[in-house]
Structure 1
Amino acid sequence: MTVRGLAWQLVKARKLAFIGAFIAVLCGSAVVAACGMLMESGIRSGVPTERYAAAAVVVGGEQSIKPEGVNVMDAQQVGTLPTVSRDLVGRIEAVPGVGKVVGETTFAARAVTGGGLVEVLGHDWDSAVLTPYELRDGRQPGSADEVVVDASLAQRAGIAVGGRLDVMTTSTPVGYDVVGIAAPAGKDGLAKQTGLYFTAEQATRLAGTEGRFHAIGVLADGDAADLADRVEEALKDDHVIVAAGQDRGTVEFASVGQSRVMLMAISGSFGGIALLVAGFVVAGTLTLAMDQRRREIALLRAIAATPRQIAKLIGSEVVLVAGVAAALGAGAGVFVGQGLREAFVEIGVMPADFALSVGPIPLLVAFLTGLGVARLSASIAARKPSRIPPTEALGEASVERRDVGWVRTLIGLVFLAGSVAMATVPLYLHTEIALGMAGLSALLAVIGVALLGPRAVAPIMWLVTAPLSKLGVTGYLAAANNRANLRRLASALTPLMLSIAFAVVNFFSQTVATAAAVQESEQVMKTDYAVTAPGGVSPEVAQAARRIDGVAAAGSMVRTQVTVLTEEVGETAGGGRQLRAHRMPALGLNQVGDNVDLGVTSGSLDDLRGNTVAVSENQAGSQEVALGGDLKLYLDDGQQATLKVVAVYERDLAYGGYVLPADLARAHSTTRLDSSTLVKLEPGADHAAVRAELTRLGERYPGLTTMGQGELGPAERGDRYVQFWVNLVAVGVILGYIAIAVANTLVLSTAQRRREFALLRLVGGTRRQVVRMMRAEAGTLVGIAVVVGTLIAALPLVLLSVGFMGTPVPSGPIGVYLGIIGFAALLGFLALGVPTRLALRARPVDAIGMRE
């Protein structure tokens, strides 16, 4: 019989031994396939275009920031869609196959209706042909004070031709005569946007984009099959993107590109952790299975099987089982990926119509990865059993091995040392990297404890079993079993500890970071009142607020993003240090006075004007820039700027590591509005009177809301909502996999003890005593897992809390911690109790004769 034939026979004969590996590989492959589909979706998918439905090709500004020397995977997405030069129109018109070229000017606006403010997009009427919009009533605009309204807005607001519509952009509302009602063919409007159409000159003035278009639409003259390629060739040196088909939505919606980048980042990091956990779980499951087959392997060695033959046999068995499991897991990954997509849509990571790309490559990669991880794990698990000396084989097979090799011990100690090193990162680095290091620290600690195996468990077990052995017959038996089977106990403890440590660290690291951001924002935000509005606040509001009696300072705050370059450790192929691009939150401020206290250590925020910037101490150190130096960065629309550092500050957790002049931040944003106006009162000022005056500004600038210091919401306090829920979704999937692994390992280890239970009953033990013994074992197992898992999580969380908040007590609801350990305990008791009761159903005389 061939090795593969023998492997197939053994698999059929020992189904139980391979069920654990089968489930571990199946679930691991499903998670990897889901991450792969999310990554492919980030590369290939998008949303259908609306405004450019009639255009065969759309030309827009380059949306990714990829400076020279930065890896393609590190390119960052812009937050504000860039514009393109009007000079491109003539060059595109010269491309063969082009029928008509239409430049589009787009800007954010708000229509003032009887029902309140309505978010709209303003366009020039010439670009209506790109949808196309057609007039249902009236005519096109002919002067600066005329507008065409889309039919959906006209119906909602009760507007008709000849009526009047007030429109806000960056100032007070301006009245326009409604001269036309337009709509796409067959419907009243577009699903995701409402449009107003002005003359080309007025649209350009309102958008503030003289000499530039938001995008250029190309209508084809005949067959448009390869028109995009020809246009792209004509514009290859102009740093633009040429989109056709579904990619046209990328030029239309800024959220598409941002979702792509977010998906790729999430799936990359999430997939890496999932792969690491999957390999760890599969290796542990196979190692447990091999330990339980030592007598069988010893018999093969005794009849002259070579170590190579044993290893090949085990590898063939695993490939047979893992091949089926990986194939099924890759298919199941489609459903996991769809579930993740729905979760990410719900928390706002991606638009609802962003399609999930289900291609063969992620499924193939998941299959090969699952098979590869299983095969590698089999090689590791089979290494020691396959080398048992034939003369000692049968003797060793009946007794559990107690030793752990020095190589494995050394690797385990290295993992523990790495865990401690990563846990200390938050003490000197207060960024998202520190949060990631906290989670990775716990994972490395669990792996280190697992590698040490009996060496780590033995001292704890002797400490625990000493009092346990004095609790009657069942306690004595449980203690003796645990002491005699340390390897089995270590294999069962590992996934249980991992589930507790991983869940506690990943949840509470986010609550600590959120609490630290709120705490710091309270220290930073000294304003008495914040004036906000849906869509943004006109810069004129700050000017008007400064004229109110009792106001000491009123300034603009603009939330934005910047992309900066840092040099990372590690040599590139050319011998230089690797450049990395990072997109980070930033603020735009002006004339804030005492409204904001960022903890400035040098320079002054009063010098923020023109091309200047204030930098946090953390970012100044990472970029090697000091007060008075020049800093190169990329603004929210991707334009590069060289700014002079005029201040350095301490508090960067809540609002980011960069502060720009508000005018600069605003000019490179989509709306060109402030996020809020901050108002600080003079000592002794009448708060009620000032608030009433601020509220009265809403008569000139509709939609304004005035909030006191105690009313500031998450948006004003550095909201981490999306990131928090993204992490929870990712952690939830990983924990689901770990929970399956826990049940898998415990059920497998318990089910293999049928003969042991039968022997206990034959020598006088009752069924009730065996069940109580297993409960005692389960209590010991769960108790150790809770204590060790909590201690593993405690080190990174305490250091994270000390670094971020100055207190060793992590912030977060204690009920969540109790829920985590309660779930782990319930899982442990069920996974041990259910197979025990099933194993005790057989008569002891029959069970004692069963194969191992």
Structure 2
Amino acid sequence: MLSLAWQTVKARTSGFIGAFVAILCGTALVAACGILMESGLRGGVPTQRYAAADAVVTGDRIVRPPGAGVTAFEHAAEQPSLPAALVARIAAVPGARAVPEQTFPAVVVGPDGQPLASKSSYGHNWDSAVLAPFTLKVGNAPKPGEVVLDSGLAAEAGVDVGGEVRIMTRSVPGTYRVAGVAEAAGEARQASVFFSETEAAALFGRSGQLSAIGVLGADARQVENVLTNDHVTVSSGADRSAAEFDDVSQTKSILAILAGSFGGYAVLVAIFVVASTLALTVEQRRREFALLRAVGATPRQIRKLIGVETTVVSVIAGVIGSLLGIGVSQGLRAAFVWIGVVPADFDLSISPIPLVAALLIGVGAARLAAWSASRRPSSINPVEALGEAAVQKRDVGKVRLAIGWVLTAMGLGATVVPLFVGGQIGAALAVSAALVLIIGLALTGPRVIGAAVRVIAPVLARSSGVSGYLASANALKNSRRLAAAVTPLMLAIGFAVVNFYSQTTFTAAVQQQTERSITADHVITGVTGVPAEIVRQIPGGTATSLVRTQVITASRTGDSVEVQSRPANGLDSTASGMVDLGVVSGSIDDLRTGTVALSDAHASWEDKGVGDTVEFWFADGQQAKLRVVATYEHDLAFGDYVLSAADARAHTTAGMDSAVLVKGADLTALNDLTSRYAGLQVTERVAAQDRSAERTQFLLNLVAVGVILGYVAISVSNTLVMSTAARRREFALLRLVGTGRRQIVRMMRTEALLTVGLAAVLGSLVAAVPLAMLALGLTGSPLPAGSILVYLGALAGAALLGLASVAVSTRLSLRAKPIDTIGTRE
């Protein structure tokens, strides 16, 4: 059977090109997602500040509630601190030297009064310099009132040993004498300022706590055995960079989550595209299978032949596609670097594991699609086969139709959910509803397209002459072929439109609510944050701290536990005059340390009210049990949790405010106050909300959707070219009975316009219903936010793709003489 399958593939190379391209591109996409996921676990940047350490101990950033499964966890946004008592326990390990490290914001102020911001800058205790190791180039170790600068920072500041620099930590910049200049091997990602031990402890501001502990002379396994029950992470090798650089740690978490969700979509789309392409390939070989059945081939032999042919093609395409996935992953990495999600020096981890997994998924998807496509040609009896081979099957199967109508109904039902569930979850549900609708319409496509064609075909026949008559006759008699071309175009239009406008609508809703909710006159912001002491120094007005943070929640449904990271904000009890949370119950004036306000929707979901205790995890992974003092409506602007500013600030690495909201103060006096601090500025109230996170997420979604749409576009062109090329004998027959070449071209152009038109209408409907419900739920208007040019661009792109694919394949099919083509075998 393998020999026969191989001979068939070689003899019908053109017939298998479509399936080959679909499998190759799908495997490349899945392999790229696998590489990104592995990089989230094993990738990173070269270790610098911990390069000499054998192991690094940090607080555990993985939040996994009791009873949660292996995949039910969240990555804490902030680095938790460590008890200083762990140093003695680690030092008790034979041969080990434990080096405590305290890290905090420390920015050198330039001559212009602004921070030197060429790279992130942090302060450390001098004893931790041995972990790099930093060695003194000139000068001595720092004493109180002195600092040691790394060589790059000293050059940028233009100072040398004995000179003075101004450094801002969490207060007004102080003046320090430069005691020495140190350097370490390699190009530093961060600038380092070293203080004496006593001064570093005071600036760190957390008595009895450390940022990390470096270990020299002992391996990670020995340290892990000592700290088994202390909720710490012991890193070694390449993982030390995640402990050193917060952006690397966040990148690894983002890549793992993104690759998982993006990869899931990619696998579904790949299976869908491969299945439709193979079904079209098998459909075009009906005469061949009919002849095999007539000469005695059994149904099992037909299915086995199709399965082995598919395996041969999918293995070759899968191997090439898996290797191509390496290039795709590098392209995605470059896009993520441009967005700002991945550091420019973050290296991907490439191993055979994701490549082999992608190959197996590609071959498995192809075999599943081949099994589905082979059922029809293998199940009919020989007499029916010869009779049916010349015309299309009258209708699709009842089971397929039933599943399609059920999915369509489910998709329509899911579109109303955003009316009751808002926020980012509502936007995600709108996309999911659209996908379910697309799958439902794909299954019921021949029936839906057939009904539409019966309405449109008579109009075409009367209005477009001979070409219109031929196009309408073809559409009526081959509605399943038309549906196969319409479906991927509909998928591309619907998927692109709903993904783009769901994000723009959500962003517009956040902006709309923020503008209503921030009632302060002015906002103080800073390059690296705002010192908390600013609030107490506002001249002639009132102020409140605003600390943007996150919390991690866990909800139990039956035996499963869902863990989710949610946006949160920290405010002072004086915030009521500067923000409008839309309080439903309780009072924001009662917000103190140990209390929390919940959004009304989240409070209802958790069945919590004023006076109840709610449990969650702070941004640094520390568990919290706080008393509810208020519930509010404006969750888009403030998230589901509003903490006291002191609680929110205490669980961030920087320990500073994100902004300070001010009301009633003189602008000139505010400018005088902020001029004493480096990097602070006074802005209008709308600037209080940081839109960078939403912008990054939006661009991230665009990249992911763009890659999938690129694959869909390839499959669309692939399908249209295959279906058009298979009609060469039909074109030859039309030309032999007197139809002109131009008339055939016009006929195919009319069919292409019909295909694009139906895809545009169905794709727009698939996107319009969930988007209208989402917009109603978020903004009160049924019109989604965003430029209409994107929608028109999606339609134009689909039209250009469809018309160009059909036009090129038609003209190529008409190049041969009709008498030669009519005699060729199918």
TM-score (norm 1): 0.94
Per the alignment, residue 478 of structure 2 pairs with: 485
Q: How far apart, in 1, do the equivalents of 2:236 and 2:707 lie?
A: 36
Cα shift at 1:719: 4.6
Q: Is the 8 A contact 1:527 1:679 kept in 2?
A: yes
Q: Specify the alignment match of 1:633 in structure 2.
A: 616
Aligned to 1:429: 421
Alignment of 1:404-553 (within 5 A): 404-470=396-462, 471-545=464-538, 547-548=539-540, 551=541, 553=542
Residue 581 of structure 1 corresponds to 563
* Aligned counterparts of 1:76 and 1:717: Cα–Cα separation in 2: 23
For 1:147 and 1:10, the matched residues in 2 are separated by 77
> What is the CA deviation profile of residues 763-817 of structure 1, one whole-angstrom value per residue up to 9, with x for unaligned ones?
1111011101111111111111111111111111111111111100111111111
Confirm whether residue 192 of structure 1 aligns to residue 189 of structure 2.
yes
2:680 equivalent in structure 1:
704
- The amino acid of 1:737's aligned partner reads Y
In structure 1, the residue matched to 2:578 is 595
Question: Is the contact between residue 564 and residue 633 of structure 1 (CA under 8 Å) also seen in structure 2?
Answer: yes
1:370 aligns with 2:344: no
Show CA shifts across 1:278-304 (max 9, x none). Answer: 111111111111221111111111112
Matched, 1:106 2:80: no
CA distance in 1, matches of 2:692, 2:607: 26
Q: Deviations over 1:817-846 (max 9, x none)?
A: 111110100110111111111111111111
In the alignment, is residue 604 of structure 1 matched against residue 587 of structure 2?
A: yes
Report matched runs for 1:659-674 at 5 Å. 659-674=642-657
Aligned residue number for residue 547 of structure 2:
558
Give the structure 2 partner of residue 173 of structure 1: 173
Q: Per-residue displacement from partner, 1:109-138 (whole Å, max 9, x unpaired)? A: 222221421352111111111112222222
Deviations 1:601-633 (A, max 9, x none): 011111111101111022212322211110111
Contact 2:108 2:157 in 1 (8 A): no
* Structure 1 equivalent of residue 761 of structure 2: 787
Distance 1:431 1:21 in 2: 40
2:13 and 2:153 map into 1 onto residues whose CA distance is 66
1:391 match: secondary structure: helix
What is the alpha-carbon distance in structure 2 between the residues aligned to residue 75 and residue 257 of structure 1? 15
Query: Could you tell me whether the CA contact under 8 Å between 2:105 and 2:170 is conserved in 1?
Result: no
Asked if structure 1 preserves the Cα contact closer than 8 Å seen for 2:620 and 2:652, the reply is: yes
Partner of 1:314: 306
Map residues 334-349 of structure 1 onto 2, 5 A cutoff.
334-349=326-341
Give 1:68's aligned residue: 66
| 2:128 match | 127
Q: Which amino acid aligns with 1:581?
A: V
Q: Which ranges of structure 2 fall in alignment gaps of 5 or more residues?
A: none
SS in 2 for 1:481: helix
For residue 718 of structure 1, report the CA deviation from its aligned partner: 7.4
Alignment of 1:616 with 2:613, yes or no, is: no
Question: Alignment partner of 2:554: what SS?
Answer: strand
What is the alpha-carbon distance in structure 1 between the residues aligned to residue 106 and residue 815 of structure 2?
74
User: Could you tell me which residue of structure 2 aligns to residue 251 of structure 1?
Assistant: 243
Query: How big is the shift at 1:717?
Result: 5.2
1:158-195 C-alpha deviation (Å, 9 max, x unpaired): 2222222222222222222222222225x7xx521111
**Equivalent-residue separation in structure 1 for 2:129 and 2:6 (angstroms):** 68
Range with greater deviation from structure 2 (495-504 or 534-543): 534-543
Alignment match, 2:663: 680
Contact kept, 8 Å, 1:402 with 1:454, in 2: the verdict is: no
Residues 113-262 of structure 1 mapped to structure 2, 5 A cutoff: 113-115=110-112, 116-118=114-116, 120-143=121-144, 145-184=145-184, 191-220=188-217, 227-262=219-254
Q: Secondary structure at the match of 2:155?
A: helix
CA distances 1:41-75 after superposition (whole Å, capped 9, x unpaired): 11112222211111111111112111211223222
Q: Which sits farther off after the overlay, 695-704 or 736-745?
A: 695-704
Counterpart pick for 1:567 among 549, 556, 561: 556
Q: Is the 8 A contact 1:343 1:729 kept in 2?
A: yes
Q: Secondary structure at the match of 2:635?
A: coil
Amino acid at match of 1:695: N
Residue number in structure 2 paired with 1:12? 10
Equivalent AA in structure 2 for residue 124 of structure 1? N
- Write the distance in 1 (CA, Å) between the matches of 2:373 and 2:645: 61
- Structure 2: how far apart are the matches of 1:321 and 1:731? 28
The residue type equivalent to 2:127 in the other structure is D
Instruction: Please give the secondary structure, in 1, of the residue aligned with 2:58.
Output: strand
Q: Which amino acid aligns with 2:603?
A: A
Aligned-partner Cα distance in 2 for 1:814–1:705? 36
- Residue by residue, what CA displacement relative to the aligned partner does 1:75-109 show, whole Å, maximum 9, x if unpaired? 211222112222222222221232x2211111112
Contact 1:654/1:717 (CA < 8 Å) preserved in 2?
Answer: no
Residue 337 of structure 2: SS of its match in structure 1? helix
Residue 38 of structure 2 corresponds to 40
Q: Aligned AA for 1:560?
A: T
Q: What amino acid maps onto 1:838 in structure 2?
A: L
Cα pair 1:554 1:593 within 8 Å, conserved: no
Q: Which SS does the other structure have where 1:695 is aligned?
A: helix
Report the count of equivalent residues. Answer: 820
Distance in 1, matches of 2:678 and 2:705, equals 43
Q: Shift of the alpha carbon at 1:345? A: 1.6
Structure 1: how far apart are the matches of 2:21 and 2:238? 38
Contact 1:402–1:486 (CA under 8 A) maintained in structure 2: no
Hey, what's the Cα distance between the residues in 2 that align with 1:441 and 1:699? Answer: 52
Q: Verify the 8 A CA contact 1:77 1:257 in the aligned structure 2.
A: no
- Please give the alpha-carbon distance, in whole angstroms, between the structure 1 residues aligned to 2:222 and 2:139: 39
Q: Is the 8 A contact 1:65 1:638 kept in 2?
A: yes
86-95 vs 774-783, which moves further: 86-95
User: 2 CA distance for matches of 1:318 and 1:838?
Assistant: 27
Spell out, residue by residue over 1:505-554, the C-alpha distance to the aligned partner (whole angstroms, 9 max, x if none).
11111111111111111111112111111111112222222x32xx3x31
Partners of 2:12 and 2:150 in 1: CA distance: 70
The one-letter amino acid paired with 1:207 is F
* Match 1:821 to one of 787, 795, 799: 795
Question: Does the CA contact (< 8 Å) of 2:411 and 2:436 recur in 1?
Answer: yes
In the alignment, is the contact (CA less than 8 A) between 2:521 and 2:663 conserved in 1? yes
Asked whether the 8 Å contact 1:63–1:257 carries over to 2, the reply is no
Paired with 1:675 and 1:147, the residues of 2 have a C-alpha distance of: 27
1:97 match: secondary structure: coil
Aligned partner of residue 720 in structure 1, secondary structure = helix
Q: Unaligned regions of 5+ residues in structure 1, if any?
A: 572-576, 682-686
Report the counterpart of residue 757 of structure 1 in structure 2.
Answer: 731
CA offsets per residue over residues 616-658 of structure 1, 9 Å max, x none? 0222123222111101111111111111011101111133111
Q: Name the amino acid aligned to 1:356.
A: L
Give 1:291's match in structure 2, choosing from 250, 264, 283.
283
CA distance in 2, matches of 1:178, 1:16: 74
Report if the CA contact (8 A) 2:29-2:266 is conserved. Answer: yes
Quote the RMSD (CA, aligned, Å).
Answer: 1.5
Query: Which amino acid in 2 is paired with 1:297?
Result: F
SS at match of 2:382: coil
Deviates more, 1:619-628 or 1:286-295: 619-628
